[in-house]
Each structure stands twice: as C-alpha cells, then as structure tokens.
C-alpha cells in the first residue's frame, strides 16, 4: 500500500520559463499567476515566463515566484487525479511555506506577502553581513559538524547522508572548504547565492520576519507538515509561527524530515515545482521510496497518469483507500 507525501521546491530552483506551458494549457493556472501578480504588485507571469533571470533571482521576486509555480504544479495534479490523498507535506526552506499553504495553514494571498517580505529581509541581511554557502559531498554530517565548529561556520542544510551545506562568513567558508577537502570530501561546491542563509548572519531577517508575521493568521494544518527546524511535524499555529521565524537562521533538517515520513509509513513522494532536486535527495535518504517530479506539462502528464492509474488499480481491487492521518498523537 502506498502512502504519499507532497514536497515542494526551495530557492535556487528558479529558471526562466518555469510554469509557462502549464499556464498556456490551463486557464485556471493562468488565473493563479494573475492573482499572484495582483497581490505582489508586479507582472509575475511575465517574470516567470520571460525573465530576465537577474530579476527572477532576486529573493523578493524568487520566493513568491517559486511558490506560485509549485502551487500551479500541485493544483494541476489535484485536478487531473482528484482521487489522490496525501499523508502529509514538506518543503525545503522556502518550500516549507508552500507546504503550509497546501495544508491550509495560510491563505494564498498571505503566503505571497510573507514570501515577498521574507525575500526582502533576507536580501537586506545579505547586504548587511556578506556571507557564502558551501555544498560538501562525500563527508558524514558528524565530520562536517567538526569542520563547522573549528572554522566558525554553521550547518545550513542536512540534505542527504552524503551532502551537507555549510554557511557563514566568506573567509570562514574558504577555510571550511580547505578543511573539508583535506578530510576526504568527494566534491565541494561554492553555491551561487547572495549570502549565508540558515546561519546567524540572517538574524536581522529573522527579527523583521517575526514582526511581519505577528498579524498574519495561522490555522491548524489539515495534514502533517514537516518542520525544517525540528525534523518532525509542526504542532499548533502559534508554534508554527515561531518555528518559521527560527527557520531563517536554523539548519534545514531534511534528512530527519524524510526519516520521520519513512517511520510513519510514507513510501511515495510527489515533488511539485521547478527542478528535481528533492526527488534525488529523497532517494539518497530512503532508497526504497518511489518519487515523481512535476515541473512542467510533460512531467505533469506522466506523473498524473501514473498516480491515477495506481489509485484506480487499488479501487478496482476492492481495497480501502488509506485516509489522511492527522492525529498528532500518532506521530
């Protein structure tokens, strides 16, 4: 029996043209981009479909843009395969906000406003305290914890057992790069990002976001949504608000999120949004999981057909379809 989770892309997955073929084929998705543009005060469809990449990559544009494209992929799937049920949701950094919206925690309009502000606050923090991020492959997390401790950087992302991202001041990241290579890293990559996300250098952004979220209504999630900070499901609305502030400066515990799903019996994932990064990470954490990625019309058609066929086979066999598990005590 398949238990599914939906997962959403994070910042860095943006690409000019994202969402275009879905919008061209579906009036409801075109309307979604129009609604988002009205809230944000910009032509979001043109930005996503035509660029330029420099404007699309700006955090205050990029974050609501990826959210809208990810949501478009998810809505297209739900309409194509209405019988699908999801056990829970998760997302990588920015994508966690998409997962919270999909679970009914925030409205569409409020999520857009939050992400536009969050992106602006993070960009301002990058300019105040310049930093860098380094992806390290082939070293265990405990080894990189020692590297981080000795060089004064921080663990930004625990993406997979063999991939960890470090974040901090540029000079310290350079030291960490040398130490990681000396420790036997298979590969290190300096990420093309504006600054040191998920580190103490983002503290000013977290403080501004806390003030911004004070008047944003949060609701109980309709299904479990994994917290990047905790690596387990979110709780009550007030706790969610606090954790989403902490998320700006805390490590993204993606390995723990996938492990928590696995322990709850989730064995199938649908990734919605540009790129296929999360599907790849999930397979490196849980080799037995099956994954589907939806980022454009061809991938949507393929995934929708496969998922709906599985539902039909299950229903035709007389088996009862599993229900969405929302009892927090069972986690």
For residue 151 the two structure tokens come to 């060089």
Residues 96 and 73 in one domain: yes
In this model, does residue 231 exceed pLDDT 90? yes
What's the pLDDT score for residue 210?
98
In this model, does residue 207 exceed pLDDT 60? yes
Q: How far apart are CA 311 and CA 252, in angstroms?
A: 33
Q: Is 152 left (phi over 0), alpha (psi -120 to 50) or beta?
A: left
What's the pLDDT score for residue 311?
65
Specify whether the CB–CB gap between 13 and 42 falls below 8 A. no
**What's the maximum distance between 2 C-alpha atoms anywhere in the chain?**
62
Q: How far apart are CA 86 and CA 83, in angstroms?
A: 10
Residues 167 and 98 in one domain: no
In this model, does residue 326 exceed pLDDT 80? no
What's 13's domain CATH number?
Answer: 3.40.366.10
Residues 123 and 134 in one domain: no
Residues 32 and 178 in one domain: no
In this model, does residue 15 exceed pLDDT 60? yes
Residues 178 and 163 in one domain: yes
Residues paired with 190 in a beta bridge: 134
Residues 37 and 117 in one domain: yes
Question: Domain for residue 110, yes or no?
Answer: yes
Question: Domain for residue 208, yes or no?
Answer: yes
- Give residue 300's domain range: 4-127+200-330
3-state secondary structure of 135: strand
Once rounded to an integer, what is the mean pLDDT over residues 238-263? Answer: 98
Question: Domain for residue 104, yes or no?
Answer: yes
Specify whether the CB–CB gap between 255 and 274 falls below 8 A. no
Condensed to tens digits (0 to 9), the pLDDT of residues 59-105 reads 999 999 999 999 999 999 998 888 899 999 999 999 999 999 999 99
Range with the lowest mean pLDDT among 54-63, 113-122, 207-216?
54-63
Residues 112 and 146 in one domain: no
Q: Is 101 a catalytic residue?
A: no
| The pairing of beta strand 268-272 with beta strand 4-8 | parallel
Condensed to tens digits (0 to 9), the pLDDT of residues 160-188 reads 999 999 999 999 999 999 999 999 999 99
Neighbours of 79 (CB within 10 A): 12
What's the pLDDT score for residue 325?
31
* Confidence band for 329, pLDDT divided at 50, 70 and 90: very low
3-state secondary structure of 3: coil
The rounded mean pLDDT for the chain is 92
3-state secondary structure of 294: strand
In this model, does residue 204 exceed pLDDT 90? yes
Which residue in the list 59, 101, 198, 251 is annotated as catalytic?
A: 198
Question: Domain for residue 24, yes or no?
Answer: yes
What's the pLDDT score for residue 317?
57
What's the pLDDT score for residue 24?
95
What's the pLDDT score for residue 282?
98
Condensed to tens digits (0 to 9), the pLDDT of residues 251-297 reads 999 999 999 999 999 999 999 999 999 999 999 999 999 999 999 99
Question: Domain for residue 315, yes or no?
Answer: yes
Q: What percent of the chain has pLDDT over 90?
A: 86
Q: Is 70 a catalytic residue?
A: no
What's the pLDDT score for residue 108?
98
Neighbours of 316 (CB within 10 A): 8
* Confidence band for 12, pLDDT divided at 50, 70 and 90: confident
Residues 211 and 181 in one domain: no
Residues 6+ apart with CB under 8 A from 126: 194, 195, 196, 201
Condensed to tens digits (0 to 9), the pLDDT of residues 99-121 reads 999 999 999 999 999 999 999 99
Residues 166 and 213 in one domain: no
Query: Between vectors from CA 234 to CA 233 and to CA 238, what angle results, nearest 5°?
Result: 170
Specify whether the CB–CB gap between 47 and 55 falls below 8 A. yes
What's the pLDDT score for residue 327?
33
Number of domains into which the chain is organized: 2
Question: Domain for residue 195, yes or no?
Answer: no
Residues 123 and 135 in one domain: no
Residues 325 and 254 in one domain: yes
Q: How far apart are CA 296 and CA 315, in angstroms?
A: 28
Residues 138 and 121 in one domain: no
Range with the lowest mean pLDDT among 43-47, 109-113, 157-161, 192-196?
192-196
3-state secondary structure of 105: coil
DSSP code per residue over 170-224: HHHHHHHHHHHHHTT-SEEEE---SS--SSGGGHHHHHHHHHHHTTS-----SS-
Provide the 8-state DSSP code for 138. S
In this model, does residue 321 exceed pLDDT 70? no
Which residue in the list 59, 70, 93, 199 is annotated as catalytic?
A: 93
Q: Looking at 139, 170, 190, which one is the last position of a domain?
A: 190
């Amino acid at each position: 029996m398949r238990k599914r989770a939906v997962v959403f892309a994070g910042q860095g997955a943006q690409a000019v043209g994202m969402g275009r073929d879905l919008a061209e084929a579906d009036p409801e998705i075109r309307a979604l981009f129009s609604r988002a543009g009205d809230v944000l005060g910009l032509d979001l469809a043109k930005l996503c479909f035509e660029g330029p990449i420099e404007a699309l990559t700006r955090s205050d544009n990029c974050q609501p843009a990826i959210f809208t494209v990810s949501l478009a992929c998810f809505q297209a799937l739900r309409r194509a395969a209405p019988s699908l049920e999801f056990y829970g949701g998760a997302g990588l950094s920015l994508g966690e906000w998409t997962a919270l919206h999909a679970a009914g925690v925030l409205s569409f309009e409020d999520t857009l406003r939050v992400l536009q502000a969050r992106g602006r606050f993070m960009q301002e923090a990058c300019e105040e305290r310049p930093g860098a991020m380094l992806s390290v492959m082939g070293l265990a997390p405990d080894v990189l914890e020692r590297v981080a401790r000795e060089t004064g950087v921080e663990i930004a992302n625990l993406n997979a057992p063999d991939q960890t991202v470090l974040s901090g001041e540029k000079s310290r990241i350079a030291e960490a790069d040398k130490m990681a290579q000396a420790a036997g890293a298979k590969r290190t990559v300096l990420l093309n990002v504006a600054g040191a996300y998920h580190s103490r250098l983002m503290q000013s952004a977290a403080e501004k976001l806390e003030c911004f979220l004070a008047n944003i209504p949060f609701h109980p999630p309709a299904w479990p949504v994994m917290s990047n900070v905790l690596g387990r499901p979110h709780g009550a609305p007030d706790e969610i608000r606090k954790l989403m502030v902490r998320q700006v400066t805390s490590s993204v515990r993606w390995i723990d999120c996938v492990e928590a799903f696995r322990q709850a019996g989730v064995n199938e994932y649908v990734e919605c949004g540009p790129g296929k990064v999360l599907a790849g990470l999930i397979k490196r954490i849980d080799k037995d999981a099956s994954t589907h990625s939806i980022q454009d019309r061809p991938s949507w058609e393929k995934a929708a057909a496969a998922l709906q066929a599985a539902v039909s086979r299950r229903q035709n066999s007389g088996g009862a379809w599993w229900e969405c598990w929302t009892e927090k005590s069972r986690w």
